[in-house]
Amino acid sequence: MNATLALLLVGLLAPGAPATAPALRGDVLYKMTLLRAAPGRLLDLVAAVKGKAPIVFRHSQGDHWDLMVLAPAKSYGDAGAAAALAAEELVAWQEEEFVRGPDLTGLPGFAEAGVVHIEMFHALAGKRAELLRQREMENTYLGATGQPQNAIFVRELGASWDAFTVGLYRSWRHYAEAQDVPPDKDEAAARGAGFAGRSAIGPYLRALILDHHDTLATVVR
């Protein structure tokens, strides 16, 4: 029995769930770097990194890193030849990964984003492709409810994260507006995206992952 059939039988997927869905995927190569500042050196680290990459997110709530840096690269060689982001004395911990994703700065909402929701995933063995499909289905659901959809980044080389997603919001109020979607619209959107219902979205995701880390962040400009 394949995984999709098993999930249909337990009611997490709707019959006829789409095999693909509109998604914010892309083929841009990025070097993704997570940084945690040395004690007392966070502002120094932010100042050192600012301007060295077009995309820098600063942790507000969630995971243990302080900064996520996304630097587009033409090739692995170009990325490897880039100068260090910060002096060693400013960094207590660092992790790097090469990923493929969309041109994030060109997406609607990036220029005015005040809050960023980042979800990072370790897939269960053999489940990465289905995890990415779930992320695409969830984007279909989000679009149908009028919420921002998530940019999807997929691991190629480096650290252990199989994928991560980035959702862009104008403000904390905008982020909280998900609670304002009428229940009937919410349920219809979930079913239209291929889920068995709104309450099945989370359980289906958790059937595919070892763990995931959520972070709310701001954009360093």
The mean per-residue pLDDT over the stretch 180-189 comes to 94
- The pTM assigned to this predicted structure is 0.90
Dist. CA 40–CA 83, nearest whole Å = 24
Calculate Rg over the CA atoms of the chain.
Answer: 18
201 token code pair: 């979205």
The mean per-residue pLDDT over the stretch 62-73 comes to 96
pLDDT the model gives residue 136: 95
- Is residue 14 situated within a structural domain? no
pLDDT above 80 (res 1): no
Of 19 and 55, more confident: 55
pLDDT above 70 (res 9): no
- Is residue 67 situated within a structural domain? yes
Residues in contact with 129: Cβ distance below 8 Å, sequence separation at least 6, in sequence order: none
The mean per-residue pLDDT over the stretch 41-47 comes to 97
Dist. CA 82–CA 188, nearest whole Å = 48
What average pLDDT is seen over the chain? 91
- Is residue 98 situated within a structural domain? yes
pLDDT above 70 (res 8): no
pLDDT above 80 (res 212): yes
Q: Which residues constitute the domain of residue 123?
A: 22-219
pLDDT 10s digits, 72-127: 998 888 777 677 899 999 999 999 999 999 999 999 899 999 999 999 999 999 99
Of 145 and 75, more confident: 145
Q: Are 30 and 161 in contact (CB under 8 A)?
A: no
pLDDT the model gives residue 4: 60
pLDDT the model gives residue 6: 58
pLDDT above 80 (res 11): no
- Is residue 5 situated within a structural domain? no
- Is residue 8 situated within a structural domain? no
Dist. CA 169–CA 74, nearest whole Å = 28
- Is residue 11 situated within a structural domain? no
Number of domains in the chain: 1
Q: Are 111 and 163 in contact (CB under 8 A)?
A: no
- Give start and end residues of each alpha helix (H) in the chain: 3-9, 42-49, 76-81, 128-144, 172-176, 183-192, 201-206
Q: How far is CA 121 from CA 58, 85, 217, in A?
A: 19, 25, 17
Give the domain CATH number at 158.
3.30.70.100
pLDDT the model gives residue 16: 57
